[in-house]
Amino acid sequence: MLALYARVLGLPADTFPLGNDVYTTVVVNNYPKWPYDGDTPTEDKLLLEHSDSSALTVLHQRGEYAGLQGRRLDGTWTPVPIRPDALQLFTGTLLTNWTDGRLRPGRHRVVAGGSATRRSSAVFVHPALDTVVEPLAAFADPDGSDFEPVSVWERANGNVEEYLRVFGRPDQLAAWREGRPYVAEVAS
């Protein structure tokens, strides 16, 4: 897909340097049954608006309702149709950094709803962990850039820290910060 982005921009297919050791994460989500009227979701039924921190996100959805919404340029939200026969692609913030802002990340959110569980699977594609992402020469502005270099390792490390801070146990977070393995006690 990055080669296709490059082609559309009139550049060589290898413009975006993922490296030989591409870093990916995979997430599988099950969104619960949680009816709402479809027009006015309440805050407790929304996953907050965000852009993915990857270069690209590849998504597959299944379910009976279009719970994923994309933000339009005018600030309104539109449902992203469920296509069980297709993969959907989102531009992430790293691609924005590489292109010095020419390609923007896809802002999106998820609304819980429907009478059946909705599922999605996402693969987040990043360059190798030792990569520092900054505007590429093809996009460099002679007057400088608004985009600071981004260490893929530091961002990945920060994402784990944030995830554990929100969803982890205190002892699990402490183990992460101290660089030691964490093994939860087995419940009887």
Q: Per-residue confidence of the chain (188 residues) as pLDDT tens digits?
A: 999 999 999 999 999 999 889 999 998 888 777 655 555 555 445 667 889 999 999 999 988 778 888 999 999 989 899 888 999 999 999 999 999 999 999 899 887 766 777 888 999 999 999 999 999 999 988 888 989 999 999 988 887 788 787 778 888 888 888 989 888 777 66
Beta bridge partners of 61: 120
Q: What amino acid occupies position 41?
A: P
DSSP symbol at 73: T
Check if the beta carbon of residue 65 is closer than 8 Å to that of residue 71: no
Of 103, 80, 72, the C-alpha closest to 2 is 103
Rg (CA), the chain: 19
What fold characterizes domain 19-178? Answer: Jelly Rolls (2.60.120)
Half-sphere exposure of 170 (CA within 13 A, CB side): 0
C-alpha to C-alpha distance for 157 and 77, rounded to whole angstroms: 31
State how far the Cα of 164 lies from the Cα of 182, in Å rounded to an integer. Answer: 12
Instruction: Supply the angle between the helices 170-178 and 152-167 in degrees, to the nearest 10.
Output: 160
